[in-house]
Structure 1
Amino acid sequence: MPSESKFPKLPIPDVDLWAFLFERKDRTYPDDKVIYFDPYTKRSYTYAQVRSAAENFGKGLKALWDWQKGDVLALYTPNCIDTPAITWGCHWAGGILSPANPNYTVEELAFQLKDSGARAIVTQLPFIKNAQEAAKKVGIPLDKVIVMGDQRDPEHKVKHFTSIINTAGSAKYRRTKAKPSEDLAFLVYSSGTTGHPKGVMLTHRNIVANTMMIKAAEAGHLQPTGGPTGEGDKLLAFLPFFHIYGLTCLIHQSLYSGLQLVVMPKFDLEDFCRFIQELKITFAYVVPPIVLLLSKHPLVSKYDLSSIRMMNSGAAPLTRELVEAVHKRLNVPVKQGYGLSETSPTTHTQPWEDWDKTIGSVGTLLPYQTAKYMSPEEKEMPVGEVGELWIKGPNVFKGYLNNPEGTAHALTADGYFKTGDVGYQDKNGNFYITDRVKELIKYKGFQVPPAELEGILVSHPNVLDVAVIGVYSKDQATELPRAYVVPKDGLGKTEKEAKEIIDWLGSKVAHHKKLRGGVRFVDEIPKSVSGKILRRMLKVKAQEEEEGTPKAHL
């Protein structure tokens, strides 16, 4: 029988995100509560200010750009406290938000803009050149590439989003309501093994449901008032808002539950520790490489992190050794969760009270879902036996944009999503993830599709054949992409040539896709009769090479 949740079921309102967040009658905190805070500039948004800015931005979109229901707004930016207002302003106007990784190259951004059908882009001034170049490639007019954040264009050629808020005559416009289960709220992009990322279609219902599911799991633990400072729980946000983990768990959860979100544009260990100490942060969503730093880095000892009551790690598996090391060093508990872009994202988490009893588990199922482990022949596996995890629930996505074949492969006729992750559950309903069916490399929570890198590398003049795999680095607690290269005519097998290939690829891809695991030269790539790369054989080879190999080029 499929497993069901042990967490309480909080009702999921049948409304769109705007109504869910801004038209509710049960809010337990005041209008002037500061929700989003920038610790660098001290700029902030209260609940009322977010609502007002979002509504006025939505009116401006309608007045200035004739924004229609279903229009897509792309966001190409690091974390910023303006992101929530722009996100919900887009929704107010009936639009769909598509966030893009700010590390994307022009080509990578252009692909997402074209695939999503984006009508406009919001970025920040340091990223304007790439945004404008990508816009030109796909035919987005440059007056629809605008900026957010603290920096403004000194030449006044690029509009700041606040100028859209102040559009004359926008008061007459009314909110466009969305159908919760049908209309999309977000188009997030998840890498596929075929190379190009896939547009994951998430409805308003998906995000509303997942926000309530997360609240059920954290209910009674995270509160808008009280706590060490009297201001209630404070969350530290460095996980990217363009990723579904940050989008739901940070942006939506903080506003719905009245938790203050301290927003960092990117991770910096010293600032992370300093803000915890100075601002009395009580909760943080993290990823395994950060847990590793907290367990080992000497800098951490300079700070008092005792206000942290719990951390939640996700995006990649976390080992027992890391959890125990952090608890021993800092007396900070770390629980683990699990989810995917296609599930909005959170499907499992460890209960607060059980974090130390089931270390290594991703926890138990969140409410409103059913899950089962299936054999390759699609037979359900009994408790304790390994299979592929399938999940069904109101948080499961609508499908992949412009990709009916991918959607049909991922979703069963009765609504189960095939996660591509392998594991098992124990007799107490704790779920374990042990491996991946998919071949994606996970670098610090980012997905790196090997086929994409192979497609680029094979175009290098000195590369005859190539395969890319992820090699696990204990030092960094993450997988690193490594290329196994058959050089043309058997030439060039030196460190110098390896570095040249690494640098060459590095100039063509986003930061997280670089060959941090290095290049290894081989005589041939192991392949099946049908020509499929046998990555498992390369993984065995990588393990054998682990002792006494030269350091990977970074």
Structure 2
Amino acid sequence: MYIGDYLGRRTIYSPDALAVVDTGKTPELRLSFAQLNERANRLANALRAAGVDKGDRVAMLALDGVEHLDLLCACGKLGAIHTALNWRLHWRELQQILADVTPTVLLYDDTFRESVAQLAEAETPVRHWIHLDGAGISGSRDFNALLADSSPDACFREDLRDEDIAAIVFTGGTTGLPKGAQISHRQIAWNCLNTVIHDLGRGDVYLNVFPMFHVGGLFVYTLPQVIMGGTTVLLKRFDPDQVLRLIQRERVTVFAAVPAMYQMLAQTPAWAEADLSSLRFCTSGGAPLPVPLVEQYTRDKGVRFKQGFGMTEFGPGLFALAPEDAIRKAGSIGRPNFYIDARIVGPDNRPLGPNETGELVLKGPSIASGYFNNAAAWGEVIDEDGWFHTGDLARYDEDWYFFIVDRLKDMFISGGENVYPAEIEAALYRHPAVFQCAVVGVPDPKWGEIGKAFVVLKPDQTASAEALLAHLGDRLARYKIPRHVEFLTALPISAAGKVLRRELRER
């Protein structure tokens, strides 16, 4: 069952259709599926000449660009494994990851030349360095020259099977080094099917703002768009003004982001004049989308929101909340997608009923194939019945809509009571002056832990700590109300747009 040559198959069906618009290039790069397939063939032949074979890892350290798709699809043809690295990590952390996954080839862009130079001088398994732009380090080969010198002939493994690994995608690494989830071709196919059922269609134009070293960047819509024959618009890094311009210029129909990004879009001066009429819907994930923000997008721009939930180990398309439920079921991640089974269980793995809070566990064919070189860690999250334990506290209501209460590790206990930061943050977002917020538990000699809120105010608004605490006092039980409020100019945000709570705790 050969399913790895996504671009080869798409080139048969729609060779001249626009596949990618890479706005990070000067001039911008607009590629058809036939052109994108030729690039992947040339890269696959070049990698094979460098000794890359089935099962070998090929690493990439780069901001978003078409080269991520070039490598993913070239690896798919060879049966090799695309391994994108988190460019936020220190080079010594990257060195440890390289020692674990042992790639012999590393592609990188000029932004990270200094880190790559450090890696090249250190001990790593990398033997071939390929720079995507700039001059590169000593001994590095130029990517575009490499493509030009390589054969465009079709290059693929006919013995590829659905359980072969297509990519290693690293988890967020909130404690210690991130774990590498093994993404099989089987997982990619099932994720695409869930995405199509989720309402991706022929002719869609998708703007990607997620970093492509995450499942959000590669697998939320980008690769399903290749399989479906749609267009994907890429930009190097999230920029609110550029995003609004591109939605209008490229007539984008599908857009996805995390709540922090949606907040920044609505705050930029370009928001007032932005034309978002081409959008069929926007998808939000990563955290609950504040209801006032949903109302603002609907009021100002007529945007319909889908909300969802995903994770590295199980694919991005796990749950979906339809636009008509955005207000009625505010805070919900929706219902499980068609080929996903979900339960809420207690500490003894006993399934819980409606409105009981426990851990969310999952089962289905879009699950990853374990952690690379870490069977012990995988064994800790898969129980004897095959359920994947997410580490998320959740509940579902009588209509089978699921709600994430919080992360197990984010919950804190104050005076013997469980406190869920997400609940407090949802209440804070109802204050008109709050732009962004995060609540963490901090040690307290009397209560064990108490809450501390970090708040970013809207540029044109003011509010005191006392006013915010009074606002919470009208909505929450006393034990849930933080004892301290600290105002910041910005929250620490990860490359995926999520709040880095560990940095707040370290403060």
> TM-score, normalized by length of structure 1?
0.73
Matches within 5 A, 1:209-220: 209-219=190-200
State the Cα distance separating 1:476 from its structure 2 match: 4.9
In the alignment, structure 1 segments of 5+ residues that lack a partner are: 1-13, 225-232, 442-468, 485-523, 529-533
Residue among 16, 28, 40 paired with 1:42? 28
State the Cα distance separating 1:185 from its structure 2 match: 1.2
Residue among 398, 411, 425 paired with 2:382? 411
Q: Do the aligned partners of 1:294 and 1:326 also contact (CA within 8 Å) in 2?
A: no
Residue among 136, 153, 158 paired with 2:140? 158
CA 1:389–1:153: 2 relative to 1, 3 Å: same
Q: Do the aligned partners of 1:60 and 1:170 also contact (CA within 8 Å) in 2?
A: no
The alignment covers a number of residue pairs equal to 449
Residues of 1 paired with 2:89 and 2:225: CA distance?
27
Q: Do the aligned partners of 1:392 and 1:417 also contact (CA within 8 Å) in 2?
A: yes
Residues of 1 paired with 2:242 and 2:174: CA distance?
35
When structure 1 is superposed on structure 2, of 290-299 and 373-382 the one drifting more is: 290-299
Residues of 2 paired with 1:293 and 1:278: CA distance?
20
Deviations 1:52-93, CA, capped at 9 Å, x for gaps:
211221111112x11121111111111002221121112212
Q: Do the aligned partners of 1:119 and 1:140 also contact (CA within 8 Å) in 2?
A: yes
Matches within 5 A, 1:68-467: 68-141=53-126, 144-148=128-132, 151-153=133-135, 157-167=139-149, 174-175=156-157, 177-181=159-163, 183-219=164-200, 222-224=201-203, 233-352=204-323, 354-439=325-410
3-state DSSP of counterpart to 2:361: strand
State the Cα distance separating 1:437 from its structure 2 match: 1.1
Residues of 1 paired with 2:298 and 2:139: CA distance?
51
3-state DSSP of counterpart to 1:329: helix
Counterpart of 2:417 in structure 1 is none
The one-letter amino acid paired with 2:369 is: K
Which structure is richer in relative contact order (CA contacts within 8 A, separation 6 or more)?
1
CA 1:238–1:194: 2 relative to 1, 3 Å: closer
Deviations 1:308-339, CA, capped at 9 Å, x for gaps:
22100112222222212221222212220101
Q: Do the aligned partners of 1:59 and 1:174 also contact (CA within 8 Å) in 2?
A: no
The one-letter amino acid paired with 1:95 is: A
3-state DSSP of counterpart to 2:130: strand
Counterpart of 1:545 in structure 2 is 484
Residues of 2 paired with 1:270 and 1:166: CA distance?
35
The one-letter amino acid paired with 1:164 is: L
Residues of 2 paired with 1:535 and 1:418: CA distance?
26
3-state DSSP of counterpart to 1:400: coil
State the Cα distance separating 1:22 from its structure 2 match: 3.1
CA 1:172–1:537: 2 relative to 1, 3 Å: closer
State the Cα distance separating 1:430 from its structure 2 match: 1.6
Q: Do the aligned partners of 1:92 and 1:177 also contact (CA within 8 Å) in 2?
A: no
3-state DSSP of counterpart to 1:23: helix
CA 1:16–1:169: 2 relative to 1, 3 Å: closer
CA 1:403–1:320: 2 relative to 1, 3 Å: same
3-state DSSP of counterpart to 1:55: helix
The one-letter amino acid paired with 1:202 is: I
RMSD: 3.2
Q: Do the aligned partners of 2:41 and 2:152 also contact (CA within 8 Å) in 1?
A: no
Q: Do the aligned partners of 1:74 and 1:98 also contact (CA within 8 Å) in 2?
A: yes
State the Cα distance separating 1:216 from its structure 2 match: 1.3
Sequence identity, in percent? 26
Residues of 2 paired with 1:440 and 1:170: CA distance?
54
State the Cα distance separating 1:432 from its structure 2 match: 1.2
Deviations 1:405-449, CA, capped at 9 Å, x for gaps:
2111101223211011111122222211111113499xxxxxxxx
CA 1:191–1:303: 2 relative to 1, 3 Å: closer
Q: Do the aligned partners of 2:7 and 2:33 also contact (CA within 8 Å) in 1?
A: no
Residues of 2 paired with 1:360 and 1:307: CA distance?
26
Pair 1:31-2:15 in alignment? yes
3-state DSSP of counterpart to 2:221: helix
3-state DSSP of counterpart to 1:328: helix
CA 1:180–1:525: 2 relative to 1, 3 Å: farther
Residues of 2 paired with 1:434 and 1:76: CA distance?
34
Deviations 1:185-242, CA, capped at 9 Å, x for gaps:
11111134542211112211111110111111115xx332xxxxxxxx2111111111
When structure 1 is superposed on structure 2, of 125-134 and 202-211 the one drifting more is: 125-134
